[in-house]
Amino acid sequence: MSKKIVVVGGGWAGCGAAISAAKAGADVVLLERTDLLLGTGLAGGYLRNNGRYTAAEEAIALGAGELFHCMDQTATNGRRDVEMPHHKHGTVYNVFEIEPLVRNAVLDAGVETLFQHRFTDVTMDGDRIVSVTCANGAVVEGDAFVDCTGTAGSQSKCTANGSGCACCVLRCPTFGSRVGVAGKAGVRERSVKRPDGKRGAYSGACEIPKETVDPALRALLEQNSSLVVPLPEELVNTAKLTVKACQQYAAKEFAQNLVILDNGYFKLITPFFPLEKLRRVPGFEKARYEDPYSGGVGNSIRYLAIADVDTALQAAGVTNLFCGGEKSGTYVGHTEAICTGTLAGHNAVRRARGMGLFTLPEETAIGGAIALAIRTMAEEGEDLDARFTFAGESVFQWMKDSGLYSTDNAAIKERIASLGLTGYFERPLD
């Protein structure tokens, strides 16, 4: 008898979880708060940089390649060699093209996707979730659940810990504030604490419409897919580097320059940049912000509700709840979200069928990164600090030290094959 898995949250992690659970043989319902998939992925775009290359190829070899193929199809200029300070061999996907491809991938997997279904509460039976309730009154039952609601929102949280609602792509004023399944089910949720004592971290990039930037700079960006524009000394603000979620982009070069990627916009790798100062930079005299609209002042605040999970991504104390993406740790990036979401979705099916849970071996970059994150967060206590990304920080260093970092596709496939895991997430569970 088929089991029903309910995935809450349609960002990169939720889409990965839904596809993974469907391929494992479950009936899957994906609940999305808004009218679009991908969440912050609608303003994202950078992948395969540094160790993310290895992780993406591992995921593909493991049988979880659908979403990476969507990204590759929309790579700007078809390039896989996009560089910026301290980051090599990257790819940037086009944010205007990506969502329809991902939506089709989710539908093709047989996932029932319900938009404008904002989760609000759970019904419990002991240590199990029986059903979830949405703001529109819908009650959705399931055998196991995956929380991919993220850690950003509501407006009040951005006001308390940031600069107010930045009018970002999450669109809380229209579709309602994020509510996490784990928290409602009684799982402990922790947050990052910044040096200023406030909670969470700013999203690390802003989007500027190409039409508002000098055509010569636009042509240069579209030719190279990345751009580094030096700033005069009076416009340099290194203090911003400590407040952003994406600490792999916190090197001094990201304060001394405008570091830009072509994701369909001029994507500025900075949490915010005062508009009047930006317009003093040659070529940006007419610039304005598209996401967030208030990018001259602040950005959305993330890392406010990270659930306690184990290396199988099962939530502590709730037997049939799993977490992916930022909900499962202070992970940074789309690659990280897809990888954790895929494992969470797969294990939700295993739990629903009464099977033992699967943990990716630490001989893989993905499995090792998850284990490192779980150990580190356990040591940190209530206030979290470390970030986990294949592109930098402790994970990338560990990958290099352990010999796992590679851009050799054949070698990565061979490593997965040697572990007997080729196509693992493609296999239906008996």
Query: What phi and psi, each to the nearest 5 degrees, are found at residue 198?
Result: -80, 165
Same domain, 349 and 241: no
Same domain, 337 and 421: yes
Same domain, 183 and 209: no
DSSP state letters, 187-253: --EEEEB-TTS-BSEE---EEE-GGGS-HHHHHHHHHHSEEEEE--GGG--GGGGGTBS-GGG-STH
C-alpha distance across the termini of the chain, in Å? 11
Same domain, 84 and 142: yes
Q: State how far the alpha carbon of 26 is from the alpha carbons of 60, 63, 339, 345, in Å.
A: 21, 17, 19, 10
Tell whether 297 is covered by a domain.
Answer: no
Tell whether 241 is covered by a domain.
Answer: yes
Same domain, 188 and 228: no
Same domain, 309 and 216: no
Of 263, 278, 293, which residue constitutes the final position of a domain? 278
Tell whether 283 is covered by a domain.
Answer: no
Of 220, 245, 278, which residue constitutes the final position of a domain? 278
Q: Is the dihedral of CA 219, 220, 226, 232 positive or negative?
A: negative
Residue linked to tokens 């950078």:
46
Same domain, 194 and 231: no
Same domain, 51 and 78: yes
Tell whether 14 is covered by a domain.
Answer: yes
- CA pair distance 142, 6, nearest whole angstrom: 6
Q: What radius of gyration, in Å, describes the C-alpha atoms of the chain? A: 20
Tell whether 229 is covered by a domain.
Answer: yes
Same domain, 83 and 192: yes
pLDDT at 400: 97
Of 244, 278, 312, which residue constitutes the final position of a domain? 278
Tell whether 250 is covered by a domain.
Answer: yes
The strand pair at 139-141 and 128-134 is best described as antiparallel
- CA pair distance 169, 264, nearest whole angstrom: 15
- Report DSSP state, residue 47: E
Tell whether 293 is covered by a domain.
Answer: no
Domain that holds residue 230: 203-278
pLDDT at 245: 62
Tell whether 94 is covered by a domain.
Answer: yes
The strand pair at 201-202 and 301-302 is best described as antiparallel
Q: Is the dihedral of CA 414, 66, 265, 391 positive or negative?
A: negative
For the chain, what is the domain count? 2
For 277-304, the pLDDT digits (tens) are: 999 999 999 999 999 999 999 999 999 9
- CA pair distance 123, 184, nearest whole angstrom: 9
Same domain, 178 and 249: no
**293, 167 Cβ separation under 8 angstroms:** yes
**410, 58 Cβ separation under 8 angstroms:** no
**Secondary structure (3-state) at 84:** strand
Residue linked to tokens 């990338």:
396
This model's pTM is above 0.95: yes
- CA pair distance 399, 187, nearest whole angstrom: 31
Same domain, 207 and 310: no
Would you put residue 115 in left (φ > 0), alpha (ψ -120 to 50) or beta?
A: beta
CATH number at residue 308: 3.50.50.60
Burial class (CB in 10 A: 0-12, 13-18, 19+), 21: buried
pLDDT at 2: 86
Same domain, 169 and 38: yes
For 182-221, the pLDDT digits (tens) are: 999 999 999 999 888 899 999 999 999 999 999 999 999 9
Residues of the chain where predicted confidence (pLDDT) is lower than 70: 1, 241, 243-245, 247-249
